[in-house]
Chains A and B, each alone.
Chain A
């Protein structure tokens, strides 16, 4: 008994060592209360990116240190924010898109604030959001075509996708696990109505549509584009994808977006309710509309700036045209039916 128990000494030392380590860890993170917070924390989705000089400019202008918390994707981020609304993870949020905006507003995770910095076009993008979110950028989710096999790819319509000519040619993302997948589903709902979309998807299914879990798999594994290794010439991607695939020597496009199949995805920023640094959060939201950020977003996040007349990279103007008349749905409609649509899709199309 004496011996068995003696190992205890080791245990106590271990315990002490661990306690010290653990305490060290927490202490360095906490802010001493009483002093004004010098940091502003931004929670965002995993694709968020800003160039270093832009971040440095923000820190120089405001004297605040920017801490970025990248979450998984927009959907998971909004759900995390809902779960933590009594003790928010951050001060501001960026990356809530129009498919989740209503949910975020209904759950009361946001403090009313919209930045006055944008123009009327920018403000139009946040219509109907009760003054809680500020539009920062947008992108069009469209079917992309490999022009080498589908030369008329840019002109394809939804009807074409169900045509036998394109049997086994299209790959899309699962709307339950991928945000471009959800956007494409919503585009088909907007185009065919609440009564017609399931029929349309049954036609797509009969025509051999392949549903994969995420954009990476769809784009790199199944699409036949230059940087991909699949054999399907049609994929759901972005209107801004073609510039990356253009022929490096000639600058000629190799892929193109079918602009009649686009759903406009708008990304918003907002101030979180219960933020430790609400002033900093508002400054941050304003800053996201500044020229510095707006010019940066095409190169860093492959999206279009929300503020009208922001100059675009040269190849974007040429190779990444936007849809003239993209499909859209009211945020309230999306919020009301999203889960039901996903469930139907899951049961009937995926089976």
Chain B
């Protein structure tokens, strides 16, 4: 019970302050007090500035600034082409559809998985999050082998259609969205809904008028994440859409990496930024409107932040009321399990029938072109992902703390809103733009990381950072300010206050956010894939390499490797759920 311990030792704090060291510390605190927020903000902002803003601005600038100075004719030229409008329409349409479907599925799923208890719930949650961890190449392949002409769902004729792309994006994102909404829902004060019911509202009316409005911040946060992931999806679009299907993201890749037409790429990147910024602004508005009004009770919040199984607000499944949610869950289950099951099935099937041959081959160093075995590549993947998640957790938590402070001035608040949006941008900017931007900016000491081992964890941390911020922020925001004030009045120092009041509340969220950061990193197949780097054959890269070689053995190993990747991520996710619960209780 963290709060109970806080007020117990004010005397020891006073005793400290009478000593010299204590006085010194108090002075340091006062100093830190003045510059504290800024200092805390400097590190993550510096990180984003050096590893994100600088490369992106430089490469866009190179496309826009010609020999005769700034040249904006590229805009007029591009927008006069029908193709550009088609690309833009498709990108926005695809992202909107994927977001809408994910949200429609995620809300009932969240209710079921985070507000009801039933056997196998933990497993259901874990399965739902698996797709997020798969490298997009594998997702694309898994879907194509389902929807392709000879696949079990080939009769649907979806191969090479926008529907296939949208389905894959929903497959990829629905677990993430469910988790964002579910954790928040589990932490909602159940009493307003109960009151509404007592006052005569039916379950649907209570849901529509009390619960859903209260969920708005989480839905908005989840939706903006899904939108960003969907608008900038690369491999699924490339693999599932067929070559006639192009989006702004694939066009930026084409113009940058293949044609080196930086002018066109710069214009497209700015267009992409515009779309992303609009989506972020929309999400932030929806979120803010609700967050102001929202109050979570401490107990409910604590029960929910880790999404632990024994939350006091969880009830049994009630069929009469829950059947629509069950139906959606079943549909989502089919969507998630079919491609995954297909993947597992094919990994244990060779020409001679059932065998573990592909899995045994993972440990062997027998693949020409891979500097080590697939197992070693898996080890490397885990190391890189741990580093990336660690960096993202540190920086993301620092950012989240800065974003929860309440500046007095309107300027300070505006600044904070900008920072919030800025931290999300890495999800919405083309991986190619960032990757090629790295090449032309990070070339002088101390930042010449272009061929360094650290390039990969840093680049992946960039993508994982927004996930951590989004995961930690709601939990921190939900902490009752009065608890912090009470702790301070009772003499707890800043550290103590953070560790005993805020950290326990945010620990569950942080643990799960780190697991997501880990998943995003271990399955990452974006900017860094396009860069040359030594000795960093991670598992997704090894899988991609195997897919590039003919022969059933190589394909089989690639499939087995994908299953291994999914298994590692599932284990980490499960650990986060479990340890998240432990942390919360033990802190």
> Which of B178-186, B377-385, B435-443, B511-519 lies at the interface with chain A?
B435-443
Q: Among B145, B260, B391, B537, point to the contact of A221 (Cβ < 8 A).
A: B145
B498 touches A226 (CB 8 A): no
A220 on the B face (CB < 8 A): yes
- Closest CB-CB distance, A50 to chain B, in whole Å? 8
| Interface size range on A against B | 35 or more
Task: Evaluate contact between A177 and B398: CB separation under 8 angstroms.
Answer: no
Cα-based distance from A1 to B389 in the complex (angstroms): 32
CA distance A14 to B43 in the complex (A): 8
Binds A, one of B26-34, B72-80, B217-225: B26-34
B43 touches A15 (CB 8 A): yes
Interface flag for B394 (CB, 8 Å): yes
Q: Chain A nearest CB: distance from B42 CB in Å?
A: 7
Query: Taking A26-B446, A30-B448, A212-B243 as contacts, is the C-beta distance between A229 and B43 under 8 angstroms?
Result: no
Residues in B neighbouring A17, C-beta threshold 8 A: 394
In the complex, whether B304 has a CB less than 8 A from a CB of chain A is: no
In the complex, A49 has a CB within 8 A of chain B: yes
Interface centre among A5, A21, A89, A299 (most CB of B within 10 A): A5
In the assembly, what is the distance between CA of A72 and CA of B435, in Å? 12
Task: Assess whether B495 is interfacial by the CB under 8 Å rule.
Answer: yes
| A325 located at the interface, meaning its Cβ lies under 8 Å from any Cβ of chain B in the complex | no
**Which residues from A are CB-within-8-Å of B34?**
5
Which of B243, B495, B549, B551 makes the CB contact (< 8 A) with A177? B243
In the complex, are the beta carbons of B148 and A84 less than 8 A apart?
Answer: no
Q: Nearest Cβ distance between residue A219 and chain B, in whole angstroms?
A: 7
Asked whether A46 and B43 contact (CB < 8 A) given A3-B494, A5-B32, A26-B445, the answer is no
- Residues of chain B within 8 A (CB-CB) of A68 are 371, 534-535
Q: Is A11 an interface residue (CB 8 A)?
A: yes
Which chain A residues lie closer than 8 Å to B197 at the CB level? Answer: none
Contact assessment for A84 and B439 in the assembled complex, using a CB-CB cutoff below 8 Å: yes
Contact of B451 among A41, A72, A176, A226 (CB under 8 A): A41
Q: B40, A342: Cβ atoms under 8 Å?
A: no
Is A300 close to B, CB under 8 A? yes
A317 contacts chain B at the CB level, 8 A cutoff: no
Min Cβ gap A58→B in Å is: 14
CA distance A84 to B443 in the complex (A): 9
- Which residues A1-56 have CB closer than 8 A to chain B? 1-12, 14-15, 17-18, 21-23, 25-26, 29-30, 41, 43-44, 46-49, 51-52
B243 touches A8 (CB 8 A): no
Residue of A nearest to B457 (CB): A25
Known A30-B445, A46-B548, A77-B532; contact A8-B33, beta-carbon cutoff 8 A? yes
| 20 CB-based A-B contacts, threshold 8 Å | A3-B488, A4-B36, A4-B405, A7-B401, A7-B494, A8-B494, A9-B29, A9-B36, A23-B446, A30-B445, A41-B534, A75-B258, A83-B260, A87-B448, A211-B242, A214-B238, A214-B239, A222-B149, A227-B551, A227-B555
Q: Besides A176-B258, A212-B242, A301-B369, 19 other CB < 8 A contacts?
A: A6-B497, A8-B33, A10-B495, A11-B43, A14-B394, A18-B391, A22-B454, A29-B452, A49-B370, A87-B443, A87-B448, A89-B439, A217-B239, A220-B141, A221-B141, A231-B150, A339-B261, A342-B259, A350-B244
